[in-house]
Amino acid sequence: LLLVLPTHGQNSVTEGPGVLLPPPKGACAGWVAGIPGHPGHNGTPGRDGRDGTPGEKGEKGDPGLVGPKGDTGETGVTGVEGPRGFPGTPGRKGEPGESAYVHRSAFSVGLESRVTVPNVPIRFTKIFYNLQNHYDGTTGKFHCNIPGLYYFSYHITVYLKDVKVSLYKKDKAMLFTYDQYQEKNVDQASGSVLLHLEVGDQVWLQVYGDGNSYGVYADNVHDSTFTGF
């Protein structure tokens, strides 16, 4: 600090012992230094500076998580049909398939002599067709080996007696035919039916009734036949 002391009749400043300094220029007599003032307020911010030079490109970041599946969009309009392409190369020839096999079952038989025994199967022993051997001439019965729908028919020559004939399936009469003999004449009786058979079923003809109904007849010019397929 400077100690300023006034002297009578002089305006001088003493700096240290025995040193006189001239008073400050333009200062009044008796001047004393003031206390330092408070700091001033901050000034207004300056304008933004210019953009800096772009920095170097950074390294590629890790892939982000897969987002949820979006909704299905609307079906677009069908486009115009394009031109027809060229034929493709023919494929390889396939393996031969299994040959088709048609299952058959049929018979057609005739009577060789007059029937005189009622209530037993009639044995037709004249064979017209029995390639599969499904008809048994020793019993007079047809044996079903292939299930399905069968057609049966019979044509009977009637002579000397009335005739009552029935067609049986599995010990049950399915069809009845009756013909009353006219004296000194030869009559004809016939019948036909469709039956569904299972494997193991048997079909045959037999005379039913009393002993006066066995007029089933056959000779070298008259036939009685039984057919099924």
pLDDT band, very low/low/confident/very high, at 115 (cuts 50, 70, 90):
confident
Higher pLDDT, 106 or 72: 106
Q: pTM of the prediction? A: 0.56
Tens of pLDDT, residue by residue over 158-173, are 998 889 999 999 999 9
Residue range 188-229, pLDDT digits in tens: 999 999 999 999 999 999 998 876 788 899 988 889 999 999
Establish if 197 belongs to a structural domain: yes
Token pair belonging to 197: 């058979």
pLDDT value at 25 more than 50: yes
Report yes or no on 153 lying in a domain.
yes
SS3 content of the chain, % helix, strand, coil (to 5): 0, 35, 65
What is the sign, positive or negative, of the torsion defined by CA atoms of 228, 157, 176, 209?
A: negative
Whether residue 12 is contained in a domain is answered as no
pLDDT at 192: 97
pLDDT of 156 above 90: yes
How far is residue 158's CA from residue 172's CA, in Å, rounded to a whole number? 24
pLDDT above 70 covers a percentage of the chain that reads 86
Q: Find all residues with CB under 8 Å of 222, minimum gap 6, and list them.
A: 157, 159, 186
Q: What is the count of structural domains for the chain? A: 1
Give me the CATH number covering residue 156: 2.60.120.40
State mean pLDDT over 40-47: 85
Instruction: Tell me the residue range of the domain where 190 lies.
Output: 107-228
Q: Is residue 47 part of a domain?
A: no
Whether 144 is in a domain gets the answer yes
Token output for 205: 């003809």
Q: Could you tell me which of 173, 168, 166, 155 has the C-alpha nearest to residue 217? A: 155
